[in-house]
Structure 1
Amino acid sequence: MNRIFLLLSLFLILAAGVAYYFLGGFKKADVTLETTAQPIFLAGRYFEGPANSEQFGDMTREAYEIRTSGKMRGTFGNIFYNDPAKASETAKVFVGLVVDDTVSQALPKGYRYRAFAAGQRVLHARIVASYLVAPDKLYTGVKAAAKEQDLTLHNVYLEKFPTTGPVEVWAVVK
């Protein structure tokens, strides 16, 4: 009986490791110091409160629905105005879609535009991984690069979650 439990436990551990591998959990983020060449526009809504709140979840689902229904073309994205690691306490975030411009599409009701300004020094992190593991990998990479390069994070972060390709974060540095 103990052998069966041992084999079952080993199988479950192996299955979890394989799943984590396919999600991109063993990859490291590629982080480079850059200056944003042009503004990045987002269409969405501002939220302030706990990131685990129902309202934040509803806003995120709404942005996905707007994109998948074709009401707007864009890539799901956020601009955090504080450290996302502390967002469980209080998130200050603009939730919506990264769009090409501010004139070619009609905004859904309640949505506004925000821009992530051009000319900012940023740590640009990218990773090809599932959105389930990517944020932790990206922010770990950004914080490690900031420490290694003796840069101060300004606590403004742009996240971009495309349906294909790398997940990205731009972290403003001083």
Structure 2
Amino acid sequence: MTRWLFLLIFLFTIGAALIYAYVGGFKTPTVTVTTTKTPIFLAGQAFEGSANDERFGPLFRSVKEAQDRGQLRGELANIYYNDPAKARDTVRAFIGLVVADTVSQQLPAGYRYRTFGAGQRVVQARTTASYLVAPNKLYPAITDAVKQQQLKPKHVYLERFPEQGESEVLAVVE
């Protein structure tokens, strides 16, 4: 009986490790310090409140649905105006899609544009891991780079999760 239990636990562990590897969980992000060359435009909705607020989760889904229905063209992205890892009480964010410009698409009701400005010094972390594991890889990589290079974070973060290509987080620093 214990052999079968051990075998079952072993197979489950191997299966979980394979799935984690498949979604990119073992990939190391690339991290650089750079300056944004052009502004990045987002179309979406602002949110301020608790991460546990019942409006927060559906906001992500509504943006994805607007993309799936063709109301907006772009890649999923968020701007956080405070450190999402440390802001357990209050999250200040803009949830939306990166769009090419602010004139080529008509926005759905309730949506606005925001700009992540050009000329900002940022720590950029990128990985090809799935959006399911990417944030847990990218934010620690940024934190390590900020400490190693003795930079001062401004706690403004842009997350981009394209369907194809690398996920990335840009963290504004001084």
Aligned residue identity for 1:155: H
- Residue of structure 2 in register with 1:93 after alignment: 93
Question: Cα offset for 1:136?
Answer: 0.9
- Residue of structure 2 in register with 1:132 after alignment: 132
Q: Tell me the distance in 2 between the aligned counterparts of 1:144 and 1:89.
A: 24
- Residue of structure 1 in register with 2:71 after alignment: 71
- Residue of structure 2 in register with 1:44 after alignment: 44
Q: Tell me the distance in 1 between the aligned counterparts of 2:46 and 2:87.
A: 14
Q: Deviations over 1:91-144 (max 9, x none)?
A: 100011110100000011011110000000001111001111100100011111
- Partner secondary structure for residue 86 of structure 1: coil
- Residue of structure 2 in register with 1:32 after alignment: 32
Q: Tell me the distance in 2 between the aligned counterparts of 1:14 and 1:169.
A: 30
- Residue of structure 2 in register with 1:170 after alignment: 170
Question: Cα offset for 1:90?
Answer: 1.4
- Residue of structure 1 in register with 2:154 after alignment: 154
Question: Cα offset for 1:69?
Answer: 0.8
Q: Do residues 112 (structure 1) and 112 (structure 2) align? A: yes
Aligned residue identity for 1:51: A
- Partner secondary structure for residue 113 of structure 2: strand
Q: Tell me the distance in 1 between the aligned counterparts of 2:20 and 2:147.
A: 27
- Partner secondary structure for residue 129 of structure 1: coil
Q: Tell me the distance in 2 between the aligned counterparts of 1:141 and 1:128.
A: 14
- Partner secondary structure for residue 164 of structure 1: coil
Question: Cα offset for 1:52?
Answer: 3.1
Q: Deviations over 1:7-49 (max 9, x none)?
A: 0011111111111111111111111111000100001111011
Q: Tell me the distance in 2 between the aligned counterparts of 1:22 and 1:53.
A: 32
Q: Percent identity?
A: 54
Question: Cα offset for 1:86?
Answer: 2.5
- Residue of structure 2 in register with 1:16 after alignment: 16
Structure 2 unaligned segments of length 5 or more: list them.
none
- Partner secondary structure for residue 84 of structure 1: coil
> Once superposed, what is the RMSD of the aligned Cα atoms?
0.9
- Residue of structure 1 in register with 2:80 after alignment: 80
Aligned residue identity for 2:115: A
Aligned residue identity for 1:38: T
- Between Structure 1 and Structure 2, which shows a larger proportion of helix residues? 1
Q: Deviations over 1:41-88 (max 9, x none)?
A: 001111011223220111100100011111111111100000011244
Runs ≥4 in structure 1, deviation > 3 angstroms? none
